[in-house]
Amino acid sequence: MLESTFVGAENQGYPRLRHRLTYATVNYQECKSMSEDQEAQEDELLALASIYDEDEFRRAESAQGGEIQVCLELPQDFKIFVKGDKQTEHDVSFLPPLILNFELPPNYPSTSPPKYTLSSKWFSQAQLTAVCRRLDELWQENQGNVLLFSWIQFLKEETLRFLCIQSPLEIVSPTKALPERKRSEAGMKRAGGAPVEVSWKEPLDPRAVVEVDPRTDILPQLLDFNEAQRQKVFDSKVYCCGICFSEKLGSSCLCFKECQHVYCRACMTEYFQIQIRDGNVQCLNCPEPKCTSVATPSQVKLLVGEELFARYDRLLLQSSLDLMADVVYCPRQMCHTAVMVEPDTTMGICSSCQYAFCTLCKRGYHGLSHCRATADELRNLRDEYVSASVDGKKFLEQRYGKRVIQKAVEESYSREWLDQNCKGCPRCGTNIQKVDGCNKMTCTSCKQYFCWLCLSQLTRLNPYSHFNNPASPCYNQLFQGVDIDEDDDFWSDDEDE
pLDDT in tens, 381-414: 777 777 788 888 877 777 777 776 776 667 666 6
Contact criterion met (CB below 8 Å) for 95 and 74? yes
The fourth-level CATH superfamily of domain 237-322 is Zinc/RING finger domain, C3HC4 (zinc finger) (3.30.40.10)
Determine the average pLDDT of the residues in 104-117.
90
Determine the average pLDDT of the residues in 246-256.
90
pLDDT digits (tens, 9 = 90+) for 441-456: 999 888 899 999 999 9
What pLDDT is stored for residue 415 in this prediction? 67
Classify 52-211 by CATH class.
Answer: alpha beta
As a whole number, the mean pLDDT across the chain is: 79
What pLDDT is stored for residue 129 in this prediction? 92
The domain segmentation of the chain, as residue ranges, is 2-39, 52-211, 237-322, 375-421, 426-497
Determine the average pLDDT of the residues in 310-334.
77
pTM, entire model: 0.52
Peptide bond into 114 cis (omega under 30): no
Determine the average pLDDT of the residues in 202-220.
82
176-180, 341-345, 408-412, 478-482: least confidently modelled range: 176-180
24-38, 350-364, 370-384: least confidently modelled range: 24-38
Helix (H) or strand (E) holding 301: helix 297-303
Residue 63 has pLDDT above 60, yes or no: yes
172-186 per-residue burial string, b: 16 or more CB within 10 A, e: under 16: eebbeeeeeeebbbb
Domains 52-211 and 237-322 share a fold: no
Question: Of 191 and 403, which is predicted with more confidence?
Answer: 403
Contact criterion met (CB below 8 Å) for 356 and 347? yes
21-35, 36-50, 52-66, 160-174: least confidently modelled range: 21-35
Residue 328 has pLDDT above 70, yes or no: yes
- Please report, rounded to a whole number, the percentage of residues in the chain having pLDDT higher than 90: 15
What whole-number distance in Å separates Cα of residue 8 and Cα of residue 352?
106
What whole-number distance in Å separates Cα of residue 254 and Cα of residue 249?
10
Q: Show which residues are catalytic.
A: 438
161-175, 271-285, 368-382, 443-457: least confidently modelled range: 368-382
Question: Of 399 and 276, which is predicted with more confidence?
Answer: 276
41-61 per-residue burial string, b: 16 or more CB within 10 A, e: under 16: beebbeebeeebeeeebeeee
Peptide bond into 463 cis (omega under 30): no
Residue 40 has pLDDT above 50, yes or no: yes
Residue 131 has pLDDT above 90, yes or no: yes
Closest CA to 186 of 163, 170, 209: 170
Residue 27 has pLDDT above 70, yes or no: no
DSSP for 194-245, please give it: --TT--TTSPPPTTEEE-S-TTS--HHHHHHHHHHHHHHHHHTSEEE-TTT-
What pLDDT is stored for residue 188 in this prediction? 41
Q: CA triplet 98, 104, 110: central angle to 5 degrees?
A: 120
pLDDT digits (tens, 9 = 90+) for 71-80: 888 888 888 8
Confidence label for 189 from pLDDT (cuts 50, 70 and 90):
very low
Measured between alpha carbons, how far is residue 143 from residues 43, 66, 105, 113, 146 in Å? Answer: 17, 20, 14, 8, 8
CA 361 to chain centroid, in Å, comes to: 36
Residue 493 has pLDDT above 80, yes or no: no
- Please report, rounded to a whole number, the percentage of residues in the chain having pLDDT higher than 70: 78
Determine the average pLDDT of the residues in 243-248.
90
Question: Of 178 and 477, which is predicted with more confidence?
Answer: 477
What pLDDT is stored for residue 183 in this prediction? 45
Q: Which stretch, 22-31, 45-54, 271-280, 428-437, has highest mean pLDDT?
A: 45-54
Determine the average pLDDT of the residues in 244-269.
89
Residue 135 has pLDDT above 90, yes or no: yes
Residue 128 has pLDDT above 60, yes or no: yes
